[in-house]
């Protein structure tokens, strides 16, 4: 795959049209397992791996949270742990990655 994008260091991960408003799509870019998130007309890229245990987070659009299937921790779209999370342990935020859109594609710098 070779898309005409923003330049060196940017990895094409999805067509923008594949991610409707309010949804998240998992991507792999090099060693990064992440989620592209489309909220408020903007795209964001976050790590898909919980910061407590190496479990892949699941997006729940009705609640706008990423949940950990291993222990129930929740993260909001900013990457921070959900303030309403009753997990009992404060966790570091999810890693965020820059996103650019070019020629209908979304690119992430990892």
Q: What is the 3-state secondary structure (H, E, C) of the chain?
A: CCCCCCCCCEEEEEEHHHCCCCCEEEEEECCEEEEEEEECCEEEEEECECCCCCCECEEECCCCEEECCCCCCEECCCCCECCCCCCCCCCCCCCEECEEEECCEEEEEC
User: Against a cut of 0.75, is the pTM above it?
Assistant: yes
Per-residue pLDDT, 1: 47
| pLDDT tens, residue order, the chain (110 aa) | 455 667 788 999 999 999 999 999 999 998 999 999 999 889 999 999 999 989 999 999 999 999 999 999 999 999 999 988 777 889 999 999 999 999 999 999 98
Taken in order 22, 26, 29, 30, the sign of the CA dihedral is positive
What is the pLDDT, as a whole number, of residue 85? 79
Backbone φ, ψ for residue 18 (5° rounding): -80, -5
- Predicted local distance difference test score (pLDDT) of residue 32: 94
Give the distance from CA 86 to its chain's centroid.
22
The reported pLDDT for the residue numbered 3 is: 53
């Amino acid at each position: 795959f070779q898309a005409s994008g923003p330049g060196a260091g940017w990895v094409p991960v999805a067509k923008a049209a594949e991610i409707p408003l309010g949804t998240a799509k998992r991507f792999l870019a090099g060693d990064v397992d992440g989620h592209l998130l489309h909220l408020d007309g903007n795209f964001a890229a976050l790590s898909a791996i919980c910061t407590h245990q190496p479990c892949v987070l699941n997006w729940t659009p009705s609640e706008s949270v990423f949940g950990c299937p291993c222990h129930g921790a929740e993260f909001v779209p900013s990457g921070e742990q959900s303030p309403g999370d009753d997990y009992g342990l404060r966790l570091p935020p999810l890693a965020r990655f820059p996103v650019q859109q070019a020629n209908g594609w979304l690119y992430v710098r990892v």
